[in-house]
Chains A and B, each alone.
Chain A
Amino acid sequence: MKSEPQVINNEHDKLPAALAPELDIVLRVNGHDRTITVRPWVTLLDALRGRLDLTGTKKGCDHGQCGACTVLVNGKRINSCLTLAVMQTGNDITTIEGIAQDGMHPMQQAFIDHDAFQCGYCTPGQICSAIGMLNEGHAHTRGDVQELMSGNLCRCGAYTNIVDAIMEVKEAQGNE
């Protein structure tokens, strides 16, 4: 029989008795200023999904280990599960909902053309991460793409097609 785990480390007596006050903050998401009221511990990921109804960004592990929550902040990809909403004021946040300009973003189209997903759960994170990677400009070879996309896990194992899709967009950009 499995015994109940013993919790050794649960004294919260040093914590303030009253809940920390709510803070009114402005987040600039997909080009719009959005005012929300949050407690300090709300992550950017939970603010996007729970407060702003932008549920395209996914929660996989909530610990920086899977990349499903990847969004772009000032053009750079980050894990939105490991930052607090209150820390992101003044930054330009782009989620999967904000990447399409006139019609689909080329990366979205390439993912469709290459069948670069099965269940699709990792896909928003993969696409934001791939766009961020091409912005960063350090991926030169297929091997670089594999290495620099390692922060995005795909449990369906669509990796080969994901790299194909990214390579197509990368090569098209290079030929412009």
Chain B
Amino acid sequence: MNNFTYIAADTPKQAANIISQNPDAAFIAGGTNLIDLMKENIAKPNQLIDLNKIPGLDEITELPDAGLRLGALARNADTAYHPLVQERYPLLADAILAGASAQLRNMATNGGNLLQRTRCYYFYDIATPCNKREPGSGCAAYDGYNRMNAILGSSEHCVAVFPSDMCVALAALNATVNVSGATGERQIPFNEFHRLPGDTPQLDNNLQHGEIITSIDLPPGGLNKNYSYLKLRDRTSYAFALVSIATAFELKDGLIVDARIALGGVAHKPWRVTEAEEFLKNKQPAKESFTQAATLILKGAVGLKHNAFKIELAKRAIVRNCLTALNPDK
């Protein structure tokens, strides 16, 4: 790791003030991504601002509208096992528990999870070009070993995927990210939080330097009856997704009245296609419709040398997961 100074902040405002005065400072929460990247010489902050000592940021509280507020510093494990999350948002609990390991989930925070960086092999290897790490240097993954890379929404500049499991469920559940900066507070709808690479792949999301995530809000109606999280990977546990899917339905009188399908491991952000979800509405839940929805979701998918299989894999996984969501307890 490089040379840096350390300070523990007492309030979100103080943290935001310190960081806005130093373009090369970084917040640290669980540390499970940032310390790894610092050891690899990819992240090189000259100052770390520890958020762990700020009181109250780790709470999980009910909102007046029966939604739920997840503190940014609440640990991933405490979130997944929280009784209200288990009861109202089981899709989120399952997605969190599909990620990383028990040790990592005990450290990892909700805010940090949203801001974790890609696992693209070339992003991690500072001896190779990578536009995300070093803008303008090129993309080694494009013609390299790109099994783990994107099939949707990528650009010639970057084919990295966003690796989070938790965020796939948050996207499906229409969460909102609450952010505080030196100049005030704002709310970012989840689907506008992360971004596509375009020609600025160094930017993973729309958070500005100087802003701190204080919490994540879940709207009421967690679709807790018909839901399923499916994660396909190279080993059964403790591995990143090749393809993951968060699916939830609201059914009424034998018809789908609300459908959510979000994909992870396929793009630079959790992938949702409104057209496919609208297509399923007011239809009977049936394999044939799910297959058509899967085709709509994968529209425009492009396979690279080593990951073209993910297109067919994703389609089949969508259908399978829709069927599982109809009978989540089986």
Contacts and interface: CB of A to CB of B under 8 A. Distances in A.
Contacts of B127: 5-8
A64 interface: yes
Most buried by A among B101, B127, B237: B101
B3 A16 contact: yes
Given A9-B126, A83-B31, A77 B106 contact: yes
Contacts of B100: 151
Interface stretch (B36-44, B157-165, B283-291): B36-44
Interface in A74-127: 76-79, 81-84, 86-87
A163 interface: no
A83 B103 contact: no
B107 A79 contact: yes
B44 A77 contact: no
A150 B127 CA distance: 31
A9 B104 CA distance: 28
Most buried by B among A19, A76, A87: A87
A82 B106 CA distance: 12
A41 B31 CA distance: 12
B183 interface: no
A57 interface: no
Contact of A9 (B102, B107, B134, B236): B134
A151 B237 CA distance: 8
A150 B2 CA distance: 31
Interface of chain B, main secondary structure: loop
Contacts of B48: 40, 84
Contacts of A62: 39
A40 B296 CA distance: 50
Contacts of A41: 1-4, 38
Contact of B238 (A16, A77, A150): A150
A146 B134 CA distance: 40
Contact of B35 (A14, A43, A152): A43
Contacts of B28: 84, 87
A15 interface: yes
Interface in A33-76: 40-41, 43, 62-64, 67, 70, 76
A76 B128 CA distance: 38
B121 interface: no
A141 interface: no
Contact of A151 (B2, B44, B104, B129): B104
Contact of A16 (B5, B129, B137): B5
B155 interface: no
Interface of A: 5-10, 12, 14-16, 19-21, 23, 40-41, 43, 62-64, 67, 70, 76-79, 81-84, 86-87, 129, 132-133, 136, 138, 146-152
Given A8-B126, A19-B3, A82-B107, 15 more contacts: A8-B129, A14-B44, A15-B46, A23-B6, A62-B39, A76-B106, A77-B106, A78-B107, A82-B35, A82-B36, A83-B30, A84-B48, A132-B106, A136-B77, A151-B238
